[in-house]
Structure 1
Amino acid sequence: MNQEKQNQVYLHFEFADGEKTITPVIFTQPKEIIVANKVEEVYQALERVQQAVDSGFYAAGYVAYEAAAAFHPTYNTINSNLHQPLVWFGIFDRITNQSLHSRMDYRLSNWIPNISKQVYKEKFSTIQQHLRKKATNQVNYTIRMHAHFEGDAFSFYEQLKRAQAANYTCYVQTEEHHIVSASPELFFRIKEGKVITRPMAGTAKRGKTHEEDKKNREALRQSEKNKVENKLIVDLLCKDLEHVAKKGTVKIPQLYEIEQYPTVFQMTSTVTADLKTDSHLTDIFQALFPSASMTGDPKDKTMEIIREVETSPRGVYSGAIGYITPQQEAVFNVPIRTVVIHDETGHAEYGVGGGITINSTSDDEYDEILTKAAVLKDKRSTFQLLESMRLENGEYFLFEEHLNRLVNSSQYFKIPIEMKYIINVLDDYANKHTVGVQKVRLLVSETGSVQVEGEEISLAKSTSRPVTIATSPIMKEDIFLYHKTTNRSVYENHKVTEQDIYDTLLWNEENELTEFTNGNLVVEWGGSYYTPPVSCGLLPGTFRSYLLKEQIIEEKILKKNDLGKFTRIWFINSVRKWVPIHIIGL
């Protein structure tokens, strides 16, 4: 192997352990690269990996989906146009702490599916025919998305990892490819003679608000369709594990657990077993590969159907990526949410799909694909939870409402908070500022650290303040509209910064009025007081919620062309309360 290319090899794993603690495991400077380019070379390559591990070395790399035929000749796959090895492993003498850092930006063109929605429906119909004939119980049907990539692939990995917040992410730089994986799914973990698998089947989109999120989570939990899909995979895994497990040790300690990720909820189960003492790497792969969650039941017939309906090889996607230690500990993910970049051409490929059963519908499955692909576009920056409160003569206005909203958002973003500590910090600040009116900002970082700061404010005058209307709409799918955080890019991008303008009135892509950049909207119309519903794309302000609870205001969709019909308009929030406004140019 070219020495220069060998020096470029870098593998960075961030896999959760049994306690869900993530400690980076990094490999550089391989002593040897073991590669299989043909099916008949796969078994020998994995035996060489096992020999290296038995000799005291670490092994890290991947097995592509198309390697399956090496373990079972009846596992048919598409082998043409696969521009990467079937097996690739580096052999290393140690784990290093030589971590990369995001050095540059990157650019991605728009992701283009390799088939249209109409073609997807036709393929879906073919699968349904097989299901009705009972040739299989479930088919994991996947498509490819393509884009052109330029720039720093590790920066892309950091962004994808952040957007997915998954437990089995990794970055693999081989001689010719970058593999960027933000997988939430564990294929298998082997430690002290035990094997753990965590098949993932069943997906639901995250809600935008705390309430919608709870509803979507519960709908997935109660979904019989998703439970059937998940149980089919669990049963198949149990059957697979029997080949390498001690008799009677295959167990299902967890069934239908709902896991939360930034863009989706996933239904996950856990299957465990005690391994036979003579089980080796090749035995594990022969028993389990490819993951049941990426094929269906029975595997052989289902993989025939997959070959019939899919138009290109899967490659690393839905294969396995991981590492093995000299202590015979091994951990591999199922490479979903994974992008493979060809260095020379910049071509990037992303596989995505879902399990189809007899109860599935084409529209739902296609929507699920789009939901799973949303992570590719989710550029999530660092932020803090924020509560801005009115402190008047040592007393917080709507204190409980602010804390409840904070708890809801912390649960939504999986941010750890210690409420007793937060209350104590706020109380200490209030006890030191018992005279006057202050705006107090409570900031909670993504790790749970707390900061409180405040400043005196002058009471708003009763005179009307001038505001203007945003020149372009907000997109109501932006989740940061529904949670108060320091990520205010959506507001900054739409705020008009003309001199003497108090604030900017926002509206969405359906020409519905939403809120101001720093407060909610209330209007008087026909003798009643209205505020737009949260579903239009706005923050559920604490003062707004209080006024709704007291039935002082009510929700109503308000259109841009309604502006001239209102008797009066107010900017409201819990710090300034009611501020009368008038719109410039109306």
Structure 2
Amino acid sequence: MNTGKQDTILKMNALGQARRPFAFLIDFDFKKPIVLEWEESQSQLLWQTPKHTNFKEQKPINQPFRWKVLPVYYGRYQKAFDLVQRHIHNGDSYLLNLTMPSGIETNLSLEDIFHQSHAPYKVMLNKKFVCFSPEIFVRIENDEISSYPMKGTIDATLENAASILMNDTKELAEHSTIVDLIRNDISMVADQVQVERFRYLDHIKSNRNELLQMSSKIIGKLQPHYRKNLGDLIAKLLPAGSICGAPKKKTVEIIKAAENYDRGYYSGVFGVFDGKNLDSCVLIRYLEQQNEKLIFKSGGGITFQSDCQSEYEELVKKVYVPLA
């Protein structure tokens, strides 16, 4: 059920305290949050995490897969990019995640794509959108909270791709900024916060290309009674730092002025609480049904070192489906 922000927080608190398993879906603006107990979630929300799922897998579809990307007009992206750069040079933001919608033409339905895609986290809401996310938001296990910000992408087929990405000064600055932001966020809800692992690479295969993506791991210690405040805890961490930027509040204001479209559930978060532990993801790699059209939303981090053409090309490269 859709509820308001405060009602959502209170419901998550109550379910957490009672140790009753539930799933939650929170949009970027926290205007259309959904909280469902596990037994009621299957009727409208299908999902999979590395440890849990609420649906039965379907057999592979034996048919050619057609996937045509209709990228956002470069001039629109450039106009938004230039506005972001002005704010960055004015000192209003030093990292901003700029996103845009691209059209998709395909012979598969959202439901087909949901069942045929492979990702650590998959979500489908009422056949309105599918998400196949590689990015963890936060995990909570044994009173420890961990976050894994993902920032930095390169074509994995390039020669020495890993070395190029790890030695790129712009990507290093961008990743370091997000790690610092997430570390500060986690410090609002936990003690003994530290970066346990700094800059490691994941290899992602898709229907269009292969990517290397850079992540880090940040951990902190929660108080033993944290379950009765699960809703408050998650709310304090939103929106996810990796898909807005820093400083967070001002950067979100700039995002809304520059993007000029509704992100909706894209770049929000999805998660499940199994009665003991919590796992969640950032809603990226996201395909949405809008009337008769399919829209894929994607983006990347902008700093003062960013090049408009390169950032536009990265946005387009991220428009993929992780099919086997």
TM-score range for the pair, normalised by the shorter chain length: 0.7 to 0.9
Aligned to 2:215: 268
Counterpart-to-counterpart distance in 2, 1:362 and 1:325: 43
Determine if the alignment matches structure 1 residue 228 to structure 2 residue 228: no
Aligned to 2:27: 64
Aligned to 2:149: 199
The answer as to whether partners of 1:241 and 1:287 remain within 8 angstroms in 2 is no
- 1:52 Cα shift? 2.8
Opposite residue 259 of structure 1, the aligned amino acid is: D
The 5 Å alignment of 1:437-448 reads none
Gapped runs of 5+ residues in structure 1? Answer: 1-33, 68-84, 381-586
The 5 Å alignment of 1:1-40 reads 34-36=1-3
Aligned to 1:326: 275
Query: Pairwise CA RMSD of aligned residues?
Result: 2.4
Determine if the alignment matches structure 1 residue 339 to structure 2 residue 306: no
The answer as to whether partners of 1:101 and 1:154 remain within 8 angstroms in 2 is no
Opposite residue 152 of structure 2, the aligned amino acid is: G
The 5 Å alignment of 1:124-523 reads 124-147=81-104, 152-161=109-118, 166=119, 168-174=120-126, 177-207=127-157, 212-213=158-159, 215-246=160-191, 249-262=192-205, 263-279=210-226, 280-327=229-276, 329-341=277-289, 345-373=291-319, 375-376=320-321, 380=324
Counterpart-to-counterpart distance in 2, 1:223 and 1:216: 11
Distance 1:293-1:124 versus aligned 2 partners, 3 A rule: same
Normalising to structure 1: TM-score of the pair? Answer: 0.49
Opposite residue 2 of structure 2, the aligned amino acid is: V
- 1:110 Cα shift? 3.6
**CA offsets 1:65-121 (integer angstroms, 9 cap, x no match):** 011xxxxxxxxxxxxxxxxx71122212597775141476798774333x4112211
Moved more, 145-154 or 120-129: 145-154
Counterpart-to-counterpart distance in 2, 1:66 and 1:116: 25
Counterpart-to-counterpart distance in 2, 1:276 and 1:302: 30
Partner SS state of residue 117, structure 2? helix
Opposite residue 261 of structure 2, the aligned amino acid is: S
The answer as to whether partners of 1:61 and 1:321 remain within 8 angstroms in 2 is yes
Counterpart-to-counterpart distance in 2, 1:101 and 1:155: 9
The answer as to whether partners of 1:339 and 1:348 remain within 8 angstroms in 2 is yes
Counterpart-to-counterpart distance in 2, 1:118 and 1:346: 25
Opposite residue 316 of structure 2, the aligned amino acid is: L
**CA offsets 1:339-364 (integer angstroms, 9 cap, x no match):** 2336xx45432210000000000011
The answer as to whether partners of 2:16 and 2:230 remain within 8 angstroms in 1 is no
Gapped runs of 5+ residues in structure 2? Answer: 41-51
Counterpart-to-counterpart distance in 2, 1:200 and 1:156: 23
Distance 1:187-1:364 versus aligned 2 partners, 3 A rule: same
Distance 1:102-1:43 versus aligned 2 partners, 3 A rule: farther
Partner SS state of residue 318, structure 2? helix
The answer as to whether partners of 2:162 and 2:212 remain within 8 angstroms in 1 is yes
Structure with more contact order per residue of length (Cα contacts < 8 Å, sep ≥ 6): 2
Counterpart-to-counterpart distance in 2, 1:250 and 1:224: 26
Structure with max Cα Rg: 1
Q: 2:70 aligns with which of 97, 107, 112?
A: 112
Counterpart-to-counterpart distance in 1, 2:66 and 2:2: 29
The answer as to whether partners of 2:12 and 2:231 remain within 8 angstroms in 1 is no
Normalising to structure 2: TM-score of the pair? Answer: 0.86
Opposite residue 124 of structure 2, the aligned amino acid is: V
Counterpart-to-counterpart distance in 1, 2:53 and 2:155: 38
Distance 1:96-1:370 versus aligned 2 partners, 3 A rule: closer
The answer as to whether partners of 2:9 and 2:232 remain within 8 angstroms in 1 is no
Opposite residue 246 of structure 2, the aligned amino acid is: D
Partner SS state of residue 285, structure 1? helix
**Paired-residue identity, %:** 23
Opposite residue 372 of structure 1, the aligned amino acid is: K
Counterpart-to-counterpart distance in 2, 1:308 and 1:133: 16
Partner SS state of residue 144, structure 1? strand
Aligned to 1:414: none
The answer as to whether partners of 1:139 and 1:355 remain within 8 angstroms in 2 is yes
Aligned residues: 306
- 1:379 Cα shift? 5.5
- 1:152 Cα shift? 4.6
Partner SS state of residue 120, structure 1? helix
- 1:56 Cα shift? 4.2
